[in-house]
């Protein structure tokens, strides 16, 4: 986020963005559920230029034992960026940024998981960013949500994530890399199916009315993502559902 780049052109004469999107349009998303045979659940997701893979394990006995909680499962979320995922090499291992993203992403899932049903267990969510192009934390959450379903872990509903932001004085949905780099604000959120916000972060500056506008837009974005997630689940599990219906 840099406010000194006023010379960057974000919109063409038709009001379209550098990647030809309308201000309220998200980047194309591709999803494949169940891509890893060793994980209990997994999902590969592309969103614009982002490529992420999520793997879920559990509920399983939490190790090391000192991490066990007597009355509920411990939920662990690890967001990791591969060194080759960015333009400049990302330094391997945890960073302040990845620790922060892991923490807020874990908290984004806590309200939808039934941790109290699994004392002493762990639910482990790992997300690897293979290619980063702005919006990796939201892409990671969207993939993790589907990997949790693939793992058969009961949930109150899906979690969907998206960002809105301000570029060239306008509020837009799902910032791409130049918009993220040179825009004025970035507002990623995660939301449950029933509209509860489980993650909200903000980088940059928005006036109260711009914030309202961005919040309305980003919630619309999450609903668009939710529809794509549901379609991917249907594609993956429709045949299973058909088989079950045949058995009745």
- How far are the Cα atoms of 1, 31, 158, 232, 239 from residue 43, in angstroms, in the given order? 30, 7, 14, 10, 18
Q: Which helix (H) or strand (E) element contains residue 77?
A: strand 74-81
The verdict on 134 binding ligand CDP (CB under 6 A) reads: yes
For CA atoms 63, 67, 71, 75, give the dihedral sign.
negative
β-bridge mates for residue 186, sequence order: 165, 203
Decide whether 68 or 224 has the Cβ nearer to ligand CDP: 224
The verdict on 87 binding ligand CDP (CB under 6 A) reads: yes
The verdict on 137 binding ligand CDP (CB under 6 A) reads: yes
208 burial type by CB count under 10 A (0-12 exposed, 13-18 middle, 19+ buried): exposed
Which stretch, 65-73, 128-136, 164-172, 232-240, contacts ligand CDP (CB under 6 A)?
128-136
β-bridge mates for residue 124, sequence order: 57, 76
Contacts of 219 (CB under 8 A, 6+ apart): 189, 191, 195
β-strands 50-61, 29-33 pairing: unpaired
CB of 1 vs ligand CDP, minimal distance in Å: 8
The verdict on 133 binding ligand CDP (CB under 6 A) reads: yes
CB of 101 vs ligand CDP, minimal distance in Å: 7
Which stretch, 5-13, 31-39, 131-139, 153-161, contacts ligand CDP (CB under 6 A)?
131-139
CB of 7 vs ligand CDP, minimal distance in Å: 20
**Binding characters for ligand CDP, 156-195, by CB under 6 A (x = yes):** ---------------------x--x-----x---------
Site for ligand CDP in 97-126 (CB under 6 A): 97
CB of 62 vs ligand CDP, minimal distance in Å: 28
Side-chain-facing half-sphere of 32: CA atoms under 13 Å: 7
Binding-site size, ligand CDP (CB under 6 A): 13
| Cβ–Cβ < 8 Å for 198, 227 | no
Decide whether 151 or 161 has the Cβ nearer to ligand CDP: 161
Binding site for ligand CDP (CB under 6 A): 86-87, 90, 97, 132-137, 177, 180, 186
């Amino acid at each position: 986020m840099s406010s000194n780049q006023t010379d960057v052109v974000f919109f063409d004469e038709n009001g379209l963005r550098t990647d030809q999107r309308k201000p309220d349009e998200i980047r194309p998303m591709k999803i494949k559920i169940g891509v890893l045979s060793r994980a209990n659940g997994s999902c590969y997701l592309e969103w614009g230029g982002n490529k992420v893979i999520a793997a879920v394990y559990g509920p399983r006995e939490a190790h090391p034992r000192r991490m066990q909680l007597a009355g509920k499962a411990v939920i662990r979320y690890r967001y990791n960026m591969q060194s080759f995922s960015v333009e400049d090499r990302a330094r391997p291992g945890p960073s302040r940024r990845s620790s922060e993203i892991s923490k807020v992403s874990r908290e984004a899932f806590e309200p939808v998981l039934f941790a109290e049903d699994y004392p002493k267990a762990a639910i482990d969510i790992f997300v690897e960013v293979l290619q980063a192009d702005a919006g990796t934390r939201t892409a990671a959450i969207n993939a993790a949500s589907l990997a949790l379903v693939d793992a058969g872990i009961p949930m109150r509903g899906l979690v969907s994530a998206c960002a809105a932001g301000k570029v060239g004085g306008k509020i837009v949905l799902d910032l791409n890399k130049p918009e993220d780099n040179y825009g004025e604000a970035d507002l990623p959120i995660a939301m449950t199916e029933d509209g509860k916000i489980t993650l909200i972060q903000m980088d940059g500056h928005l006036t109260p009315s711009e914030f309202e506008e961005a919040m309305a837009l980003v919630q619309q974005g999450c609903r668009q993502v939710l529809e794509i997630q549901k379609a991917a689940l249907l594609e993956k599990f429709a045949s299973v559902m058909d088989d079950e219906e045949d058995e009745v």
